[in-house]
Structure 1
Amino acid sequence: MKLFDAGDVRIHYRVDGPADGAPVVFANSLGTDMRLWDPILPLLPEGLRVIRWDKRGHGLSTVPDGPYSMGALISDCEKLLDHLDVKECVFVGLSIGGMIAQGLAVKRLDLIRAMVLSNTAAKIGNPALWDERIAAVKSGGIESLADAVMERWFSDAFRKTPELELWRNMLVQQADDGYAGCSAAISGTDFYTPTSGLRLPTLGIAGSEDGSTPPDLVRETVDLIPGSQFHLIRRAGHLPCVEQPEEFASVLTAFLKGVGHV
């Protein structure tokens, strides 16, 4: 476990694999920490330099006063990657992590040579929706939203398994202020115009039963980028890397090979 001081926040991060390996950066979703990627990492090709971090307000990173801006989340990642001397990574972002990917690619294309936009969009929801969720968290904590979040995150079949409790526990153990702060960042983000100017290899991944970012929304976003690919994972909700890790890892590995990163 390592902490990086990014100024107003200290970021918990982890690096696995050889120092000279091809860098792959993973950015997780709202309400999760870097363990989101644990199911797929053993299934990826050996020799990669895998970089993960807990965004501000999540996991073992510190919790600055909110609300947060998307620019701050992008800057946190930018500073961390500069600190780790990362160039030309493949960036895999899920949900808010995919928004960070888009914003960072627009700002610092030298850092990213290709990206995977999983269960995300250029714009997610609307301010009224996010205001309602932020108010609920501030009044009743994340616990007050947890059951509804599980319905959006996972398929009916997965919600009947004992593993559901692990992910519900991860959600409710995040800091309320961190969850609300990052919700505000999503609320204020519309990347349709900047993302449409991107020119880099891009793979979109969606879950057929995603209640947060439905497949059509994901496809609409990746279609903004010429030459992009799209893959639908069936029997999965918002976190297909959890529900269908073998398929997620297979699709990601094929993309890494296709862009010459393996």
Structure 2
Amino acid sequence: MTLPLPPHRDTGSGEPVLLLAPAATRSAIWSLHQEPALRAAGYRVLAFDHRGSTEAYCPEGPERLGDLVADAARVVQEVAGRPCHVVGASLGAMVAQRLAIVRPDLVRSISLLGTRARTPAFTAATVREVIDAARSGAVPAGYAAACTMAQLFAPERLLDDRFAREWLDLMAMSPVRGEGAARQYLATLAVDGWAAELAAVDCPALVVGFHFDTQMPPSLVREVAELIEGARFEEVADCGHFGFLERPEVVNDLLLDFLAKASLTPRR
């Protein structure tokens, strides 16, 4: 049976840019900073919710990384109608790098924010604990919110009381719970199986690490850049795993500079 397209947005005009969100988040996360900047720069912006993000799009069966990649491919083919520049963060970055391998005809360039090509033992343990907590629903929402914030943002950011209160309230209202979120996190563990294939990526690539990222430290992110021939690596200071929210001006400048140059690069 053919699944419906994932819930998606398509705004602006110009060269299309597909935005792929982290695990257990909605595509609306991009609407805070990246979507407005891209539209203002003359790009058409597409974003969609990964399967499992909502009850409206949670097909039966595991959210294998290949399924998430297939969803992205369908959005490019059926909505964009032409190859896209693909920007992903965390899980979204893993989907982007895999899409560039298996469907190079659909990818104009990739921008990978906070990604990895292997899963260290501590990272794997952390991911599996998040999966168990999401499935059990037993972790108090407030405690889960505080722990998640410590993993996503830089220490200094957490000392900003206004920022901390806003995000604690937001995360407590939308805890990482349910089978859909669990399966998305599980999908991130598949990256080790095809890391060697990153050498086959044949499009411009930007790889961005965030200085205080405890989930995917810059040294781990840099390994991805080293596996992709000609990839550009950048490290953004004073931010954590969600650096694209903490320091959006810096990240947006990097993205726009890269996309402008990638748009001039002839397709191979």
Compute the TM-score of the two structures, normalised by the length of structure 1: 0.88
Structure 2 partner of 1:119: 114
The alpha carbon displacement at 1:13 in A equals: 0.5
The number of residue pairs the alignment matches comes to 255
**Which residue of structure 2 lines up, in the alignment, with residue 163 of structure 1?**
163
The change in CA–CA distance for 1:132 and 1:175 in structure 2 (over 3 A counts) is: closer
| Residue-by-residue CA offset, 1:211-251 (whole Å, 9 max, x unaligned) | 11100011111110111111111111011110001111111
> Aligned partners of 1:173 and 1:131: how far apart in 2?
16
Secondary structure of the equivalent of 2:108?
strand
Name the residue aligned to 1:100: 95
> Which residue of the partner structure matches residue 42 of structure 2?
47
Per mean C-alpha deviation after superposition, the further-off stretch among 162-171 and 195-204 is 162-171
Taking only aligned residues, the RMSD between alpha carbons, in angstroms, comes to 2.4
Cα distance in 1, alignment partners of residues 138 and 42 from structure 2: 41
The yes-or-no answer on 1:145 pairing with 2:144 is yes
Q: Distance in 2 between matches of 1:50 and 1:6?
A: 25
Structure 2 CA distance for aligned equivalents of residues 151 and 261 of structure 1:
39
Partners of 2:210 and 2:166 in 1: CA distance: 20
SS in 2 for 1:145: helix
Matched, 1:35 2:28: yes
Residue aligning to 2:189? 187
Q: 2: distance between equivalents of 1:188 and 1:255? A: 28
Q: CA deviation at 1:257?
A: 1.3
* Equivalent residue number for residue 197 of structure 1: 200
The runs of at least 4 aligned residues of structure 1 exceeding 6 Å deviation read none
Partner secondary structure for residue 64 of structure 1: coil
Q: Deviations over 1:155-196 (max 9, x none)?
A: 122223323455452573555211101111112332311112
Q: 2:127 maps to what in 1?
A: 130
> For residues 2 and 118 of structure 2, what CA distance do their matches in structure 1 show?
26
Match of 1:22 among 5, 15, 20: 15
- Cα gap change, 1:245 to 1:129, in 2 (>3 Å): closer
Amino-acid identity (%): 29
Q: Which runs of 5+ in 1 are unaligned?
A: none
Q: Which runs of 5+ in 2 are unaligned?
A: none
Deviations 1:97-124 (A, max 9, x none): 0100011111111111211011011234
Matched residue, 1:178 = 180
Structure 1 residue identity aligned to 2:178: D
Q: What is the alpha-carbon distance in structure 2 between the residues aligned to residue 133 and residue 42 of structure 1? A: 32
